[in-house]
Structure 1
């Protein structure tokens, strides 16, 4: 389990995260949702070790994250940020092979090439293997970076579990590829990987997540299965948008529909 316990992040006078606890269990997809500025990306940066919390701890397995060597962390946990800048004319396959770096002992082995091709196939980009990466569209580049992250944790480590951390992985994708990416993530979870995904689309979170953490102003407003978290009152309280929550016509999950008949209101401001 990847556990964030009582995380607080303060920068200057601003409190970005306050006493948030979240757990990423192996074999589950956990979605973090909330309005802009709620602290979603800050929480993910703490989970990756990029940002040290002002208070609280991050543990991978039964060990503090900072106690694990960086190479061991990289073998067990891959991260897909919102944006990954790469301007050199590497081929798509070369970019994906970068994900195998923590596993290398010298040059790439036949197994590393095999994993890179399999990761590209998993994101439906195997036909682009020889293309120069900068010639791809933004959405295609994002899918290649997802393949790179998959290649990094493709093989289970000798000890411990694997984790995939995704920061808005569907933001630049069209409808079909949004679902394809989350189907891939859900498939990894079914294979035992712990997945943490920052998502803006509540219906994608409802359809694919096993567990949801809903943030408001840096605090955890609700946590639990999608059906428990996505209530009309809860969504309106956090997002300021009246909604109706109905049964999805084809999936065993709730469907969140904005209620155009009710006036929108700003999220409630906590009183002192």
Structure 2
């Protein structure tokens, strides 16, 4: 029985992905900053562990408790909406610590066991905003674009050891807590000079029909394919809006 470790499982994409892998017979290590007993159904194949991807000691402790893993899904991330002028650099660094450096740190910690076994897969969840630039998302897009480049180069390093590295790029998912958290960080991030632009952007997002955006099951299915199908593309879109942006 294979084991997957998924970061950021308290809600949204990570929670749905953990459920899907459980339903399909895998052992699941679901990690989150503050573990919740009610987040997932009880199962002998499930362990819920604390993990702060920005804390080296937390990463070491989590992986020691998890034991060998066949697949790592780096899903943990935070959002940020705002014009660059209105975002303090401390907030920019916080975003990169989680979205970019956290992904790198957890991956680096897991790789030795995969390399030694000459088997395993790393799936990094980024975003379709790296396929089509959008205003008010410059910092967030940069944090995810860095992970895209990191993953594609890493894949070349790992191929000789039989380890794969792939990307899942979700579209916009307005129903997840991720979007709510991004908006909660907006305080002061829209200077008056950008108010008209922001109003137009938000109005456009509000008009998008529910069937034209990404749902959590779309992402879970894409992650499943990335983990279980060695022939899947290096970049895998998740959600109808993300699929529409992928180059032919």
TM-score range, shorter chain: 0.3 to 0.5
User: Where is the helix percentage greater, Structure 1 or Structure 2?
Assistant: 2
State the TM-score, normalized to the length of structure 2: 0.34
User: Where is the strand percentage greater, Structure 1 or Structure 2?
Assistant: 1
Higher relative contact order (CA 8 A, sep 6+): 1
Task: Determine which structure has more spread, i.e. the larger CA radius of gyration.
Answer: 1
